[in-house]
Amino acid sequence: MAARVALATLCALALPWGAQGQVDVGAFDIVDLTHALGADTVFWPATPPERFELTQLAFGDTEDGGFYAANRFCSAEHGGTHLDAPLHFSRNGDSTDRVPLERLVAPTLVIDVSAQAARDHDYRLSAADVRAFESRHGRIAAGTIVLLRTGWSRYWPNVKDYLGDDTPGDASKLRFPSFGEDAARLLVEERGVAMIGVDTASIDYGQSRDFAVHRIVTAKNVPGLENLTALDRLPETGALLIALPMKIAGGSGGPVRAIALVPKATSKR
């Protein structure tokens, strides 16, 4: 089923096909939407503090004249560019390993509120914003991935600028923009989108106390992407998003490598 959906997605996007039925990847810019995991990765304020740890196990020449390197890493599920599986806020939601591939590989659109967010750090995407987007591009189709561009990735990895506060273990003073409740309801309940994502630390805005957007989308078994970057390189419509998390059995989320295939005719390089 997933293979048929993926093929239908490619056909719907009118991707160029080359010899032996292969997609002509050279016709696209491949845009990396992922922050690298490392010592400066931003994590949600927690007690004890979370961080990404890379421990070197081997690095050097071998006795037979070769070379060998190996590491061990440790990380929370929800740090850096990552997926929120529906299980994160819904008891009966899909865990990371059970999220259908057609939610992770799908046509994507970008709603740009960077101008509004620059004026109001608590800005939340509204249903009116979504309908204004649709007035220019048509109704958002079911199965689409909707990404919200706030421009916040320019602050990464400065914790205070990115989160709005850098008090260890305290999430009460965070300030950054994201999705609003009415926009989330419109997208997941009426439009039937496959997934939503944002270039901030959460699909809820920083001052949220009840994480209403998380609750709304996960109630519909819709996953979310957080801490994306380079959304300014994507067109408003016409790209294909591929966002594959680590397949963690029973996971509530996980690190993800998110990329977009952007037809060169519409690329914003």
Per the annotation, the verdict on 82 as an active-site residue is no
pLDDT of residue 27: 87
Instruction: Specify whether the CB–CB gap between 208 and 176 falls below 8 A.
Output: no
Give the up-direction half-sphere exposure of residue 191: CA atoms within 13 A in the CB hemisphere. 25
Write the CATH number of the domain with boundaries 2-49+76-263.
3.50.30.50
Can you read off the two tokens belonging to residue 54? Answer: 């890379």
Q: Of these residues, 35, 88, 137, 214, which one is catalytic? A: 88
pLDDT of residue 19: 55
Q: Are strands 178-179 and 224-226 parallel, antiparallel or unpaired?
A: unpaired
- Spans of all domains in the chain: 2-49+76-263
Instruction: Specify whether the CB–CB gap between 216 and 156 falls below 8 A.
Output: no
pLDDT of residue 264: 87
**Predicted confidence (pLDDT) per residue in 121-144, tens digit:** 999 999 999 999 999 999 999 999
pLDDT of residue 1: 41
The reported pTM is: 0.91
pLDDT of residue 17: 54
Residue ranges for the chain with pLDDT beneath 50: 1-9, 11-12
The count of residues in the chain is: 269
Q: Are strands 105-112 and 239-245 parallel, antiparallel or unpaired?
A: antiparallel
